[in-house]
Amino acid sequence: MDGNFNENDLSRVVEADRANVWHHLIQHQPFFTGADPKIIIEGKGLRVWDQKGIEHIDAVSGGVWTVNVGYGRESMGDAVRDAIVKMNFFGGTVGSIPGALFAEKLLTKMPGLDRVYYANSGSEANEKAFKMVRQIAHKRYGGKKHKILYRDRDYHGTTIACLSAGGQDERNAQYGPYTPGFIRVPHCLEYRKHEQEGAPEQNYGEWAANQIEEIILREGPDTVGALCLEPITAGGGVIEAPEGYWPRVAEICKKYDILLHIDEVVCGVGRTGTWFGYQHYGIQPDMVTMAKGVASGYAAISCLATTEAVFDMFKDDTSDHLNYFRDISTFGGCTAGPAAALENMRIIEDENLLENTTAMGDYMLGKLGELKDKHAVIGDVRGKGLFLGAELVKDRESRDPADEKMVQAVVGDCMKQAVVIGATNRSLPGKNNTLCFSPALIATKDDIDQICAAVDGALTRVFG
Ligand SMILES: Cc1ncc(COP(=O)(O)O)c(C=O)c1O
């Protein structure tokens, strides 16, 4: 990218955007009182260029933890093009070459899981899982075991059913009433355990998992069909469960015959240095959903992987004319998605990106730790692989969250330095105070140094 744009053409694009496009997640009024919408027009590696030709380093992989293999990959474009020219679409009752081959390859990375159901987005994959839980409840338990547990601060998508499973009250606000049968369990953020009644000094992870059991007992185990959790909470503040949590969660699910659904929409396909986030914790889920990094944003694809046991429940009784998963998404599993996903996986393998993610994640965690030593406003640094967060507080003693406007000012200052970082935003009332980092898995030490230097400068300017 050389920054040589035709200014006239681009100003026309800006005006077309301002006049016609309704963007995701933002208030548009500023575009009518002087500000221009940002248009990203090109990307290469970790860099993107905007309409003014300004080169940015992207520390959040397309804003939302997605472009795992980086921008501008010709082989990804070729894979999509070749697939759609040969066969662009046929409905999902039949198979396709990329669909079959990607499912086969994906399952080699997920021992214990045996089937792949294709969809378009993370929300949609989660909806499929919820529908399966409900159908299993109807078929096997007279409809009773239909409740789905979800965790405070987790997010599972944008549809009404996904918001019903959403642990972020500010994100949910004004979109109710919600779907019945979704029950909240407490978060497991040790840094904020002082806000949780009864949380112990020692063995917090086990205690947090035991809170789930208490809710199951309160609801009645025969009414609970599934527990849906992010392996590491993303938009809720980059929260890795403390030691002792996951083994206890697995034990509880087994004890009460509850399906464990892990939402890998963010962590899936390399983000934390393993193929999937849950693989750090030695657990065996029954259902895993994934989306963003599956094809790094080169094509729309999401997947729900299940065990053979779950799959069997939808094929074991052919005398029942309703005993199969009666679900379709027109575009789910279209050839472009799995073709891009196959190439994405090849790149991660051939370029050793899991190893790079672990090494660069450790490096960045160290760098953020140095920033914590320097800036009292950083209360906690956490995460795994290239999926990291820094929680900002008014005061380390009280851990009161930093003013959200100042947190956003840090993001804005970085943007002025042409470094794109993220922060929890309008998700958790009063607690949108965590800076988020998720550069592409190809990040180098130089990239990380540049990102952290920008954050350092921004923290100094905003907080002194
Ligand atoms: C953990 C998690 N699950 C699900 C989703 C929803 O995915 P999508 O926006 O593709 O529907 C997201 C989106 O950010 C997410 O972070």
The CATH-assigned architecture of domain 75-350 is 3-Layer(aba) Sandwich (3.40)
Beta pairing class for 115-119 and 302-306: antiparallel
Q: What confidence tier does 412 reach under pLDDT thresholds 50, 70, 90? A: very high
Q: What confidence tier does 333 reach under pLDDT thresholds 50, 70, 90? A: confident
Q: What is the DSSP string of 256-305?
A: TT-EEEEE-TTTTTTTTSSSSGGGGTT---SEEEE-GGGTTTSS--EEEE
Q: What is the pLDDT of residues 71-114, one digit of tens each?
A: 999 999 999 999 999 999 999 999 999 999 999 999 999 999 99
Q: What backbone phi and psi angles, to 5 degrees, belong to 110?
A: -135, 70
Could you give the C-alpha distances from 413 to 291, 300, 422, in angstroms and in order?
A: 30, 32, 12
The pLDDT value recorded for residue 56 is 98
Which atom of ligand 1 is closest in space to residue 124's alpha carbon?
A: 11
Q: What is the pLDDT of residues 83-95, one digit of tens each?
A: 999 999 999 999 9
**Max intra-chain CA distance, the chain:** 71
% of the chain exceeding 70 in pLDDT: 98
Average pLDDT over residues 298-305: 98
User: Domain coordinates of the chain in residue numbers?
Assistant: 7-67+352-463, 75-350
Amino acid, res. 22: W
Ligand 1 atom 4: the closest Cα is on which residue? 156
What is the residue whose two structure tokens read 């429940």? Answer: 313
The pLDDT value recorded for residue 7 is 63
Q: What confidence tier does 2 reach under pLDDT thresholds 50, 70, 90? A: very low
Q: What is the pLDDT of residues 141-172, one digit of tens each?
A: 999 999 999 999 999 999 999 999 999 999 99
**Cβ contacts of 162 within 8 Å, gap of 6 or more:** 123, 126, 127, 156
Q: Quote the mean pLDDT of the chain.
A: 96
How close are the terminal C-alpha atoms of the chain, in Å? 36
Ligand 1 mutation target, pool 265, 269, 287, 304, most atoms within 8 A of CB: 265
Expressed in angstroms and rounded, the spacing between residue 266 Cα and the centre of ligand 1 is 7
Expressed in angstroms and rounded, the spacing between residue 268 Cα and the centre of ligand 1 is 11
Which atom of ligand 1 is closest in space to residue 157's alpha carbon?
A: 6
Would you say residue 8 has pLDDT above 80? no
Ligand 1 atom 7: the closest Cα is on which residue? 122
Q: What confidence tier does 433 reach under pLDDT thresholds 50, 70, 90? A: very high
Q: What confidence tier does 9 reach under pLDDT thresholds 50, 70, 90? A: confident
Ligand 1 mutation target, pool 61, 120, 123, most atoms within 8 A of CB: 123
Q: Is the dihedral of CA 62, 65, 70, 76 positive or negative?
A: negative
d(CA 250, CA 437): 29
Collect contacts of 29-33 with beta carbons under 8 A, ≥24 apart.
none
Q: Give the pair of three-digit tokens for residue 121.
A: 């987005």
The pLDDT value recorded for residue 4 is 57
The pLDDT value recorded for residue 1 is 45
Which atom of ligand 1 is closest in space to residue 123's alpha carbon?
A: 11
Expressed in angstroms and rounded, the spacing between residue 425 Cα and the centre of ligand 1 is 15
Q: Is the dihedral of CA 274, 186, 182, 210 positive or negative?
A: positive
Pocket of ligand 1 (CB under 6 A): 64, 121-123, 126, 155-158, 230, 234-235, 263, 265-266, 291
Ligand 1 mutation target, pool 155, 160, 331, 436, most atoms within 8 A of CB: 155
Task: Give the DSSP H/E element, type plus range, for residue 160.
Answer: helix 160-164
Average pLDDT over residues 180-184: 98
Q: What backbone phi and psi angles, to 5 degrees, belong to 233?
A: -60, 130
Let me know if the fold of 7-67+352-463 is the same as that of 75-350. no
Would you say residue 421 has pLDDT above 50? yes
The pLDDT value recorded for residue 81 is 98
3-state secondary structure of 394: coil
d(CA 389, CA 380): 8
Closest CA to 59 of 353, 442, 340, 350: 442
Average pLDDT over residues 227-251: 98
Expressed in angstroms and rounded, the spacing between residue 289 Cα and the centre of ligand 1 is 10
Would you say residue 65 has pLDDT above 70? yes
CATH of 7-67+352-463, one of 3.30.365.10, 1.10.3720.10, 3.40.220.10, 3.90.1150.10: 3.90.1150.10
The pLDDT value recorded for residue 349 is 98
Expressed in angstroms and rounded, the spacing between residue 122 Cα and the centre of ligand 1 is 5
Q: What confidence tier does 212 reach under pLDDT thresholds 50, 70, 90? A: very high
